[in-house]
Protein backbone atom coordinates (compact mmCIF):
# COMPACT_ATOMS: atom_id res chain seq x y z
CA UNK A 1 0.00 0.00 0.00
CA UNK A 2 1.34 3.40 -0.84
CA UNK A 3 1.85 6.06 1.61
CA UNK A 4 -0.90 8.21 0.03
CA UNK A 5 -3.30 5.32 0.20
CA UNK A 6 -2.47 4.73 3.84
CA UNK A 7 -3.15 8.35 4.67
CA UNK A 8 -6.46 8.30 2.87
CA UNK A 9 -7.34 5.06 4.63
CA UNK A 10 -6.38 6.52 7.99
CA UNK A 11 -8.45 9.63 7.34
CA UNK A 12 -11.46 7.47 6.49
CA UNK A 13 -10.99 5.41 9.67
CA UNK A 14 -10.55 8.54 11.78
CA UNK A 15 -13.62 10.08 10.18
CA UNK A 16 -15.60 6.91 10.85
CA UNK A 17 -14.53 6.88 14.50
CA UNK A 18 -15.37 10.56 14.79
CA UNK A 19 -18.82 9.87 13.38
CA UNK A 20 -19.28 6.96 15.78
CA UNK A 21 -18.16 9.09 18.74
CA UNK A 22 -20.50 11.86 17.68
CA UNK A 23 -23.38 9.40 17.37
CA UNK A 24 -22.52 7.79 20.72
CA UNK A 25 -22.29 11.17 22.42
CA UNK A 26 -25.67 12.24 21.11
CA UNK A 27 -27.19 8.87 22.06
CA UNK A 28 -26.11 9.12 25.68
CA UNK A 29 -28.86 10.35 27.97
CA UNK A 30 -28.61 13.90 29.05
CA UNK A 31 -28.79 14.76 32.71
CA UNK A 32 -32.35 15.18 33.97
CA UNK A 33 -33.69 16.49 37.21
CA UNK A 34 -35.46 13.71 39.08
CA UNK A 35 -38.17 14.89 41.44
CA UNK A 36 -39.63 12.54 43.99
CA UNK A 37 -43.30 12.25 43.12
CA UNK A 38 -45.80 11.58 45.86
CA UNK A 39 -46.95 8.01 46.11
CA UNK A 40 -50.13 7.26 44.22
CA UNK A 41 -53.11 7.59 46.52
CA UNK A 42 -56.30 6.14 45.14
CA UNK A 43 -59.22 8.52 45.34
CA UNK A 44 -62.12 7.57 47.55
CA UNK A 45 -65.34 6.95 45.65
CA UNK A 46 -67.38 10.09 45.17
CA UNK A 47 -70.02 10.61 47.80
CA UNK A 48 -73.50 9.92 46.64
CA UNK A 49 -75.14 13.09 45.44
CA UNK A 50 -78.10 14.18 47.50
CA UNK A 51 -81.42 13.06 46.20
CA UNK A 52 -83.15 15.94 44.50
CA UNK A 53 -86.93 16.02 44.59
CA UNK A 54 -88.64 16.99 41.37
CA UNK A 55 -91.97 18.48 42.47
CA UNK A 56 -93.49 17.96 39.02
CA UNK A 57 -92.59 14.27 39.08
CA UNK A 58 -93.97 14.00 42.61
CA UNK A 59 -97.23 15.62 41.53
CA UNK A 60 -97.44 13.37 38.46
CA UNK A 61 -96.86 10.36 40.70
CA UNK A 62 -99.93 11.44 42.67
CA UNK A 63 -102.08 11.94 39.59
CA UNK A 64 -101.63 15.70 39.15
CA UNK A 65 -99.16 16.22 36.28
CA UNK A 66 -100.68 19.56 35.24
CA UNK A 67 -100.26 21.39 38.54
CA UNK A 68 -97.98 24.40 38.18
CA UNK A 69 -95.20 24.79 40.75
CA UNK A 70 -94.03 28.32 41.48
CA UNK A 71 -90.78 28.74 43.41
CA UNK A 72 -90.88 31.85 45.56
CA UNK A 73 -89.23 33.14 48.70
CA UNK A 74 -91.41 36.26 48.65
CA UNK A 75 -93.92 36.19 51.52
CA UNK A 76 -96.34 38.23 49.40
CA UNK A 77 -96.51 35.28 46.97
CA UNK A 78 -95.73 32.39 49.31
CA UNK A 79 -98.05 32.69 52.31
CA UNK A 80 -96.36 29.69 53.94
CA UNK A 81 -93.26 31.77 54.65
CA UNK A 82 -95.08 33.50 57.49
CA UNK A 83 -94.41 30.31 59.51
CA UNK A 84 -90.66 29.96 58.94
CA UNK A 85 -87.76 29.98 56.49
CA UNK A 86 -89.33 27.32 54.27
CA UNK A 87 -92.94 27.16 53.32
CA UNK A 88 -95.55 26.46 50.74
CA UNK A 89 -98.84 28.00 49.74
CA UNK A 90 -102.03 27.23 47.87
CA UNK A 91 -104.22 30.12 46.82
CA UNK A 92 -107.77 29.32 45.63
CA UNK A 93 -107.49 32.29 43.23
CA UNK A 94 -104.92 30.22 41.27
CA UNK A 95 -106.40 26.73 41.68
CA UNK A 96 -103.91 24.85 39.50
CA UNK A 97 -100.83 26.34 41.16
CA UNK A 98 -98.88 25.66 44.32
CA UNK A 99 -96.06 27.82 45.64
CA UNK A 100 -92.99 26.43 47.42
CA UNK A 101 -89.91 28.10 48.81
CA UNK A 102 -86.43 27.40 47.53
CA UNK A 103 -84.97 26.88 51.03
CA UNK A 104 -85.87 23.21 51.45
CA UNK A 105 -84.37 19.85 52.12
CA UNK A 106 -85.56 17.03 49.87
CA UNK A 107 -87.81 15.72 52.67
CA UNK A 108 -89.07 19.24 53.38
CA UNK A 109 -89.89 19.83 49.73
CA UNK A 110 -91.74 16.51 49.56
CA UNK A 111 -93.81 17.49 52.59
CA UNK A 112 -94.61 20.96 51.20
CA UNK A 113 -95.61 19.71 47.75
CA UNK A 114 -97.87 16.99 49.16
CA UNK A 115 -99.39 19.32 51.78
CA UNK A 116 -100.20 21.94 49.14
CA UNK A 117 -101.51 19.22 46.82
CA UNK A 118 -103.97 18.28 49.56
CA UNK A 119 -105.19 21.89 49.68
CA UNK A 120 -105.53 21.96 45.91
CA UNK A 121 -107.71 18.85 46.05
CA UNK A 122 -109.73 20.20 48.98
CA UNK A 123 -110.52 23.24 46.89
CA UNK A 124 -111.23 21.21 43.75
CA UNK A 125 -113.75 19.00 45.58
CA UNK A 126 -115.42 21.85 47.47
CA UNK A 127 -114.04 20.85 50.87
CA UNK A 128 -113.00 23.71 53.18
CA UNK A 129 -109.24 24.17 53.31
CA UNK A 130 -108.06 22.39 56.44
CA UNK A 131 -104.44 22.36 57.62
CA UNK A 132 -104.88 19.25 59.78
CA UNK A 133 -106.40 17.28 56.91
CA UNK A 134 -103.71 18.55 54.50
CA UNK A 135 -100.97 17.38 56.87
CA UNK A 136 -102.67 14.00 57.34
CA UNK A 137 -102.98 13.58 53.57
CA UNK A 138 -99.34 14.57 52.99
CA UNK A 139 -98.17 11.99 55.54
CA UNK A 140 -100.48 9.35 54.06
CA UNK A 141 -98.97 10.06 50.62
CA UNK A 142 -95.40 9.60 51.88
CA UNK A 143 -94.25 12.84 53.55
CA UNK A 144 -92.18 12.56 56.71
CA UNK A 145 -94.56 12.88 59.65
CA UNK A 146 -91.85 14.62 61.68
CA UNK A 147 -92.05 17.54 59.23
CA UNK A 148 -95.84 17.91 59.43
CA UNK A 149 -96.27 21.42 60.78
CA UNK A 150 -99.93 21.33 61.82
CA UNK A 151 -100.47 17.66 62.63
CA UNK A 152 -99.05 17.74 66.19
CA UNK A 153 -101.46 20.54 67.11
CA UNK A 154 -104.35 18.70 65.49
CA UNK A 155 -103.64 15.48 67.36
CA UNK A 156 -103.14 17.39 70.63
CA UNK A 157 -106.47 19.18 70.23
CA UNK A 158 -108.28 15.91 69.48
CA UNK A 159 -107.05 14.21 72.68
pTM above 0.85, yes or no: no
pLDDT in tens, 80-135: 887 777 889 999 999 999 999 988 899 999 999 999 999 999 999 999 999 999 99
- Distances from the Cα of 60 to the Cα of 28, 54, 68, angstroms: 73, 10, 11
Q: What are the residue ranges spanned by the domains of the chain?
A: 1-29, 55-158
Closest by Cα among 96, 139, 100 to 120: 96
pLDDT in tens, 76-95: 888 888 777 788 999 999 99
Cα 51–Cα 133–Cα 107 angle in degrees, nearest 5: 10
Amino acid sequence: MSRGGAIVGAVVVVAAFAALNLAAASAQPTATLVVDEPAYVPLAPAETAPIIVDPHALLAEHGEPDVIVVWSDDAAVNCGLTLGEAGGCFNPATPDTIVVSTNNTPAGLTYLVLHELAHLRQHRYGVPLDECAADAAAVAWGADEALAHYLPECEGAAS
